[in-house]
């Protein structure tokens, strides 16, 4: 340690590794030395930022920056010029960058969590079809125009033999919207239900998988036939008292899309956070 500065003792002071007299001497030195006081305040602020960061954020990069502080202090032993190069003024951009990275990381993790889709169990379809009330009814003609179904997954009617009969939007016990579609495939009635969210992980453990064209579905019931699958932002269920071929043809008529990726989830989560903050 150089006589005019605390050097590595700043770290020892932060970690409470000094004796009572050494601590008193170090604090007295900090009071009278602008450079050591600046370095002490910056190191303390950086460590407080690390300790208060949200759970789940990887702070290894920020910790490396703190370790570089110790490396810079060791390097200052080489010459007085090197010591001045590692002084508080030159370190401020590094600490500023570190704190910005902490804030940005917290924002990304928060947005990702906020954008996480709700888990949907296969039972959502039973509750929806038995619901007595409805927020809105959609006629056959309106279903064909696709305007009222624009925000839901639906077939391109011109390219399928399915005949739209009626649709309605209901709310489940958690006040989430569910779309119920009644379709005709020849003489058979097919009931399709949809809810925004992600198919519950436990479904793969309890039900066998069936591949219907490009659709990876799960066979929930055999009598009557019912399958569930993920299509983009929605979980869909299709049921009928018909043959497996008829039900499969109906399922293949719906668009196929993968589950939202990380970028989509972060974007959706950020939009939700903004909506809450602005009250929209």
SS3 call for 163: strand
Distances (CA, A) of 13 to 29, 37, 60, 68: 12, 12, 23, 18
| Backbone conformation region of residue 126, classed left if phi is above 0, alpha if psi is from -120 to 50, else beta | alpha
Which whole number is the average pLDDT over 75-82? 50
Q: Which two tokens stand for residue 208?
A: 């066998």
SS3 call for 184: strand
Q: Which of 72-76, 219-223, 262-266 has maximum average pLDDT?
A: 219-223
Q: Which two tokens stand for residue 195?
A: 């809810």
Inter-residue contact 251 to 217 (CB < 8 Å): yes
Compute φ and ψ for 204, nearest 5 degrees: -65, -25
Task: Give the model confidence (pLDDT) of 98-144 as tens digits.
Answer: 665 555 555 544 443 444 468 899 989 887 777 667 788 999 999 98
What pLDDT does residue 69 have? 56
* pLDDT band, very low/low/confident/very high, at 19 (cuts 50, 70, 90): confident
Q: Above 60 in pLDDT, residue 182?
A: yes
Q: Which of 115, 159, 126, 129 is nearest to 253 (CA)?
A: 159
Inter-residue contact 269 to 112 (CB < 8 Å): yes
* pLDDT band, very low/low/confident/very high, at 40 (cuts 50, 70, 90): confident
Domains of the chain listed by start with CATH number: 9-114 (no CATH), 119-257 (3.30.200.100)
Which whole number is the average pLDDT over 199-223? 92
Q: What is the mean pLDDT of the chain?
A: 76
Q: Which of 64-73, 79-88, 191-200 has maximum average pLDDT?
A: 191-200
* pLDDT band, very low/low/confident/very high, at 163 (cuts 50, 70, 90): very high
Q: Is this structure's pTM higher than 0.85?
A: no
Euclidean distance between CA atoms 261 and 158, whole angstroms: 30
């Amino acid at each position: 340690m150089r006589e005019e500065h605390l050097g590595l003792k700043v770290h020892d002071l932060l970690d409470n590794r000094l004796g009572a007299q050494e601590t008193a001497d170090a604090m007295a030195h900090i009071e009278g030395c602008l450079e050591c006081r600046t370095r002490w305040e910056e190191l303390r602020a950086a460590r407080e930022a690390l300790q208060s960061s949200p759970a789940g954020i990887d702070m290894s990069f920020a910790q490396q920056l703190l370790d570089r502080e110790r490396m810079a202090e060791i390097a200052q032993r080489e010459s007085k010029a090197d010591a001045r190069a590692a002084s508080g003024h030159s370190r401020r951009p590094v600490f500023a960058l570190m704190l910005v990275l902490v804030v940005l990381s917290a924002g990304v993790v928060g947005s990702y969590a906020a954008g996480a889709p709700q888990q949907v169990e296969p039972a959502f379809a039973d509750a929806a079809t038995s619901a007595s009330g409805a927020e809105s009814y959609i006629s056959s003609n309106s279903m064909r125009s696709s305007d009222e179904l624009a925000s839901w997954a639906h077939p391109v009617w011109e390219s399928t033999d399915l005949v739209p009969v009626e649709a309605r939007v209901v709310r489940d016990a958690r006040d989430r919207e569910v779309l119920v579609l009644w379709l005709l495939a020849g003489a058979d009635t097919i009931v399709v239900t949809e809810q925004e969210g992600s198919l519950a992980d436990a479904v793969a453990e309890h039900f066998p998988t069936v591949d219907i064209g490009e659709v990876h579905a799960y066979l929930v019931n055999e009598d009557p036939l019912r399958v569930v699958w993920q299509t983009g932002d929605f979980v869909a269920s299709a049921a009928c008292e018909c043959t497996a071929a008829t039900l499969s043809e109906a399922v293949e008529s719906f668009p196929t899309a993968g589950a939202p990726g990380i970028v989509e989830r972060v974007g959706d989560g950020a939009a939700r956070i903004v909506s809450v903050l602005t009250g929209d």
